[in-house]
C-alpha cells in the first residue's frame, strides 16, 4: 500500500490543475484509509461518488483548456481520460456488487500510480503548451507603455 501525496515536481505550471491533482491524490489516499480501517465503511459509497465526480470534472477542465490552446494531442489525451473513467466506474460497480470482497488497496494503488504517471508524462506536456499559449496571448494583448 503506497500513499502518494502531491509534490512540487508534479506541478504542471497551472495552479488550478495542480490543486485538482492534489485533491484527487487526497481522495485516493482516503481509499487507503478505508483499507487501513481509518475510514468508516459507511462512507465508502459517497467517497466513490466524490471520486468519480471530481475525476470527470477535472478531465473536462483539462480537455477544455487543451481545446482552447489548440493542443495537437487532444484526442489521444481524451482517450486516456475516457479509459481511466471506465476503469474507475468498473471499480465502483465491482464494489457495489460485493463490498465485502473489494480490494481497496489494489484499487487505490492502481489509480494513484496511473494518475502520477499521467501527470508526469501527459499533463506536463499539456502544461508546457498551455503556458506558452498564455505567454503569447499576454504579450500580444499587453498595452504599450511609455517605459517599454
What is the contact surface with Fe ion in residues (CB under 5 A)? 62, 123
Nearest to 94 by CA among 85, 84, 103: 103
**Lookup: cell for 91:** 471499480
Nearer CB in complex with Fe ion: 62/109: 62
Q: Give the CA distances from residue 140 to residues 49, 50, 68, 108, in Å, rounded to whole numbers and listed in that order.
A: 43, 40, 17, 44
Nearer CB in complex with Fe ion: 83/106: 83
Least spacing, CB of residue 122 vs Fe ion, in Å:
5
Nearer CB in complex with Fe ion: 35/80: 80
Least spacing, CB of residue 108 vs Fe ion, in Å:
19
Least spacing, CB of residue 88 vs Fe ion, in Å:
14
**Do 105 and 32 form a contact (C-beta atoms < 8 A)?**
yes
Amino acid at each position: 500500500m503506497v500513499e502518494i501525496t502531491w509534490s512540487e515536481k508534479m506541478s504542471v505550471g497551472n495552479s488550478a490543475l495542480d490543486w485538482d491533482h492534489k485533491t484527487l491524490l487526497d481522495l485516493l489516499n482516503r481509499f487507503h484509509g478505508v483499507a487501513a480501517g481509518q475510514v468508516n465503511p459507511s462512507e465508502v459509497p459517497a467517497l466513490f461518488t466524490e471520486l468519480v465526480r471530481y475525476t470527470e470534472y477535472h478531465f473536462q477542465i483539462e480537455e477544455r483548456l487543451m481545446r482552447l490552446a489548440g493542443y495537437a494531442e487532444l484526442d489521444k489525451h481524451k482517450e486516456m481520460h475516457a479509459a481511466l473513467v471506465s476503469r474507475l466506474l468498473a471499480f465502483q460497480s465491482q464494489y457495489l456488487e460485493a463490498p465485502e470482497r473489494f480490494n481497496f488497496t489494489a484499487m487505490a494503488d492502481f489509480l494513484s500510480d496511473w494518475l502520477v504517471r499521467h501527470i508526469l508524462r501527459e499533463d506536463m506536456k499539456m502544461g508546457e503548451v498551455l503556458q506558452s499559449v498564455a505567454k503569447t496571448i499576454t504579450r500580444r494583448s499587453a498595452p504599450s507603455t511609455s517605459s517599454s
